Structure 1
Amino acid sequence: MNIIIQKFGGTSVATEELRERVAKKVICSKEEGKAPVVVVSAIGRSGDPYATDTLIGLANRAFKEQSSRELDMIMACGEVISAVIMANTIKALGYEAVALSGLQAGIITDKYHGDAEVVQVDCEPILNLIKEGKIPVVTGFQGATMTGDITTLGRGGSDTTAAILGEALKADIVEIYTDVDGVMTADPRLVPEAKVIDNICYDEIYQMAEDGAKVVHPRAVEIARRGSLTLKIKNTFSDAPGTIINGNMGFKGSSYRNANEDNLLTAIAHKNGITQFTVSFNEDSVEESEKFMNELTNKHISIDLINFFTDRKVFTVDEKNAEKLELLLKSLGYKFKVTAGCSKITAIGHKIRGVPGVMARIVKALASQDVKILQSSDSHTTISCLVKQSDMEKAVNALHQEFNLSR
């Protein structure tokens, strides 16, 4: 059926002029013989009347305590409004379009309100509309339980909706429209020389998304990888070709043996709002470590950049969990040190696997800008460094320049 999923974020549908631009892109796909399925986010961003954060604020002002079920109901309203308006915009240009909620689109989830998982998709409602020559416009970010309760899929959930529908409908491609020309080698607001990446593999884009790049949600990448879906990141505001995301990088082990080779890295990502904890231990035992980790799990505290030693454990948490962790550590009687106001800088590239000297170049580049590395960790495709947030911009630019990513 040549199905194409086209997802548009809140900024892409924020004004009447932009919605007409989006409608024309959808119609262009239709006229090319494709069967477009549109996924939309709520209109605008926080402060705009129908944005998700605005609706949450409305609910919180009205009631200090509310159930997650009712909160999901009000959060889902933003996408419903967006889908109806977008469908009417397409109809005004002469093409039949039908707005669908997550439930009407056949998206069934578990019962975890606020961060639900999709358990099945009934494709029949959307396929029937396509067969009738109509364009389905689906609310992103939401679904419903088997009993009909509205659920939401977590922040960034419209990307998840697009990927889930792409997998279920066996779409040729999933296009995710944003306000940049594609996936870039670094945040262009920090690095003016950042360039668009033409092709990138699932592992690399997943790491970028996990480590701060906001161009696509990590869960959408996981779904795409599972279903061998091709994603394309495109700009709503231009006709730039965008970035293709798939597993076809032709990589079967590193052919690089010299860290000074060009093209070792794909991108530099960064994440702010990180707090480092150093927790002292009087005894190093399996039981004590297990007890400590169980306490973190019970309090739903996720840790990162983990370095465990015989006398201490060093790790980071998101700053939103820092106060909760401090209270926990005090209640358990641990001695600890807190370093707030940090950033995680991550160098990403599948070609660095097994190549000696990459870390040496990172240390040299950061030292040249007087940036102190507070902690580091690595994997097959990444090297991450913790730095003070005040040094973040210098660090990102230094690494981008050191590895010639603007070429």
Structure 2
Amino acid sequence: MKIAIQKFGGTSVANTTNRTKVVDKIIKQCESGYSVVVVVSAIGRKGDPYATDTLLNLVDKEGMNPRELDLLMSCGEIISGVVLSNVLKDKGYDSTVLTGYQAGIITDNKYGDADVLRVNPDKVLKDLKLGKIVIVTGFQGATSDGEITTLGRGGSDTTAVLLGEALNCEYVEIYTDVDGIMTADPRVVPDARLLEIMSYSEVYQLAEDGAKIIHPRAVEIAERSHIKLIIRNTLNDGKGTLIKDKDCSNTYKKKDRIINAITYKKNRTQVIIVDKERGNSTEKLMDMITRENISIDLINFFSDKKVFTIDKKDIKTMEKILKKEECDYNIVKDCCKLSIIGNRMQGIPGVMSRIVKALSKEDIQILQTSDSHATIWCLIKDKDLEKAVNSLHHEFNLSKKPV
């Protein structure tokens, strides 16, 4: 039995017109000889009647028990699944709707951001063998004793790939409201180009550093099981972006470009701490930051100072810690982290030099840098974001398709 997994996001199922396009894509897979599993998100986005955020606005989130909150949040996907099943019925196709729990997704009891412990796809397989299209509510599962849980941000992507893994699918299609993964945010770079193929590691870094096309956790699961991912637009028939192992891709030859994409994360704040023979107090300081659940990034520790970034929302808490420890510090607000991503940059000389020159031409100050084998990060001021991304996009010829 050939099984296809198709995941449709909130905008894909938001209205009658879009749901008709969704059903057309499901039917096309059926007619191609596939048994189809469909994963759905809640209908629409914030403000739409059945979107998850809209449901949450019905209650006092701060005062609610996390268990009941997850029950409420699970409703949006159930509504979406039943509505889509009804459209399929009108087209003459038999389908069944399963909650995450009924589909065999078992989690721990960390309500709101549960970790999946195992997936038992027996019920899904049984319904597929009966010739049904199986619609699974994304973003949710349940504990082993049946308590409903949700999987956190990007949970529907995670659901789709976990089912793909459990059902031994060759690929998972992620349908959304964009054509695929672009070389940069098209709202910032008008001539950004669609990327036809990317590696897991590149897409993971893009997702981790600001691009909201797919959740990084879903990419990790796909990579461990070598499941190909395809990001496509619900509203057209474009090929989208194929995501797979870099070693099996013919686009990673020597003649291809070393940079594939640029993304960014706003609302970053730089923290600079000047050391004054503080002995072992650095360890104490880091422990305090950890206890306050502050995530730090772009970490550069030197003998005379320590530099890192935090999210804008953590500024007040960080300053309380630094004052309590009598640190000599400086806070640089309104920063943005640029991520320049490409699997081929490792061992290639001159990449950083080109970045510095491109930004210098635009009089953009680089506040901090860091790098890994496939990414270079630069911290700049928010006000320079648009100039910086366009400058780097031009420097590395990302608008032109590689030859």
By how many angstroms is 1:229 displaced?
A: 0.6
1:338 corresponds to which of 331, 336, 360: 331
After the TM superposition, which residues 346-365 of structure 1 pair with which residues of structure 2 at under 5 Å, given as runs? 346-365=339-358
Counterpart residue identity of residue 231, structure 2: I
CA distance in 2 between partners of 1:109 and 1:333 (Å): 43
Q: Structure 1 pair 263/14, CA: closer, same or farther in 2 (3 Å)?
A: same
CA distance in 1 between partners of 2:209 and 2:62 (Å): 33
User: What per-residue deviation string (whole Å, max 9, x for no partner) do you get for residues 99-138 of structure 1?
Assistant: 1111111110011111111101111110011000001111
Q: Structure 1 pair 275/83, CA: closer, same or farther in 2 (3 Å)?
A: same
Aligned partners of 2:285 and 2:325 also within 8 Å: no
Structure-2-length-normalised TM-score: 0.96
CA distance in 1 between partners of 2:191 and 2:256 (Å): 17
User: What per-residue deviation string (whole Å, max 9, x for no partner) do you get for residues 343-382 of structure 1?
Assistant: 1111100110011111110011111111111111011001
1:269 corresponds to which of 252, 263, 269: 263
Which secondary structure does the structure 2 equivalent of 1:58 belong to? coil
What's the RMSD between the two structures over aligned residues? 1.6
After the TM superposition, which residues 5-404 of structure 1 pair with which residues of structure 2 at under 5 Å, given as runs? 5-60=5-60, 64-250=62-248, 263-283=257-277, 285=279, 287-404=280-397
Aligned partners of 1:269 and 1:346 also within 8 Å: yes
CA distance in 1 between partners of 2:151 and 2:136 (Å): 14
Counterpart residue identity of residue 38, structure 2: V
Percent identity, aligned pairs only, is: 54
Counterpart residue identity of residue 283, structure 2: E
User: What per-residue deviation string (whole Å, max 9, x for no partner) do you get for residues 36-65 of structure 1?
Assistant: 1000111111111111111122222xx641
Which secondary structure does the structure 1 equivalent of 2:59 belong to? helix
Q: Structure 1 pair 70/35, CA: closer, same or farther in 2 (3 Å)?
A: same
Which secondary structure does the structure 2 equivalent of 1:234 belong to? strand
Counterpart residue identity of residue 339, structure 1: V
Aligned partners of 1:284 and 1:311 also within 8 Å: no
Counterpart residue identity of residue 140, structure 1: G
By how many angstroms is 1:188 displaced?
A: 1.0
Structure 2 unaligned spans of 5+: none
Which secondary structure does the structure 1 equivalent of 2:272 belong to? strand
Q: Structure 1 pair 282/316, CA: closer, same or farther in 2 (3 Å)?
A: same
CA distance in 2 between partners of 1:23 and 1:251 (Å): 31
CA distance in 2 between partners of 1:230 and 1:345 (Å): 27
Aligned length: 399
Q: Structure 1 pair 29/250, CA: closer, same or farther in 2 (3 Å)?
A: closer
Which has the larger displacement, 376-385 or 334-343?
Answer: 334-343
CA distance in 1 between partners of 2:388 and 2:231 (Å): 26
Which secondary structure does the structure 1 equivalent of 2:232 belong to? strand
Which has the larger displacement, 335-344 or 359-368?
Answer: 335-344
Counterpart residue identity of residue 371, structure 1: I
Aligned partners of 1:231 and 1:244 also within 8 Å: yes
Aligned partners of 1:284 and 1:310 also within 8 Å: no
Aligned partners of 1:111 and 1:151 also within 8 Å: yes
Counterpart residue identity of residue 386, structure 2: E
